[in-house]
Structure 1
Amino acid sequence: MATACKWVIRIVGVLYLVALTLLLIGTFGLFGQERDPLAGVFLMPLGLPWVLWLDGVADAFKPWLAILAPALNLVILALACRLLRREGT
C-alpha cells in the first residue's frame, strides 16, 4: 500500500509541474507560443474541489489560489499516505 501511495503522489506531482509549465508558457508566450487566456485550464481538475469554492474570494486572489489548489491536494495525499502507513504497522 505504501508503494501505491508514493506512486500516486509522484504522478500527481508530475502532472502538477506539467500544468504549471504549460501555464507559464501560455501566459507569457514563451518559446514562440501565442499568449493563451486558457493556459491554466489543466490546473483546474488537479485543484478540485478547492477551485470550486473560490466564488467568495476577491478576483485578484483567484488565480493564485487556483495555482496553489493542486499543492493542497498533494499535501492531503501525503498526509493520508503517512496516516495509512502508521496504521499498517
Structure 2
Amino acid sequence: MRAVLTGLIWGMLLAYAAALALFLLGQFGLMGVERDPLSGVFLIPLGLPWNRMIDLFPQPSWPWLAALAPLLNIALLIALRALLPRPSQARK
C-alpha cells in the first residue's frame, strides 16, 4: 500500500508542477505566452475540496490560494503514507 501511495504522491507532484507552470505562464504572459484568464483551470481539480472554501478570503488572493490548494492534498497523502507501517526489512 505504501508503494501505491508513493506513486500517487509523485503523480500528484508532477501534475501539480505542470498545472502550476501553466498557471504562471498564462497569468503573467511569460515567455511570449498570451495572458489567459483560464490558465489556472488545471489547478482546480487538483485542489478539491479546499478550493471550494476560497471565497472566504479576500478576492485578490483567490488565484494564489487556488494555486496552493493542491499542496494540502499532497501533504495529506504524505501524512497518510507516514501512518502506514513500513514493510519489514528482514523477512524470514
Q: Shared fold by TM > 0.5?
A: yes
Which gives a bigger RCO, structure 1 or 2 (Cα 8 Å, sep 6+)? 1
CA distance in 2, matches of 1:13, 1:79: 15
Q: 1:47: which partner in 2?
A: 47
RMSD, aligned CA: 1.5
Structure 1 stretch 53-62 or stretch 75-84: which is displaced more? 53-62
Name which one, 1 or 2, has greater alpha-carbon Rg. Answer: 2
Q: 2:56: which partner in 1?
A: 56
Q: Any stretches of 5+ residues in structure 1 without a counterpart?
A: none
The Cα of 1:75 is off from its aligned counterpart by 0.3
Q: Give the fraction of aligned pairs with identical amino acids, expressed as a percent.
A: 47
Residue 30 of structure 1 aligns with an amino acid whose one-letter code is L
Following TM superposition, the consecutive aligned residue runs of length 4 or more in structure 1 with deviations greater than 3 angstroms are none
Aligned residues: 88
Q: 2:66: which partner in 1?
A: 66
The Cα of 1:80 is off from its aligned counterpart by 0.7
Q: Any stretches of 5+ residues in structure 2 without a counterpart?
A: none
Q: 1:16: which partner in 2?
A: 16
Q: 2:29: which partner in 1?
A: 29
Q: How does the TM-score come out when normalised to structure 2? A: 0.86
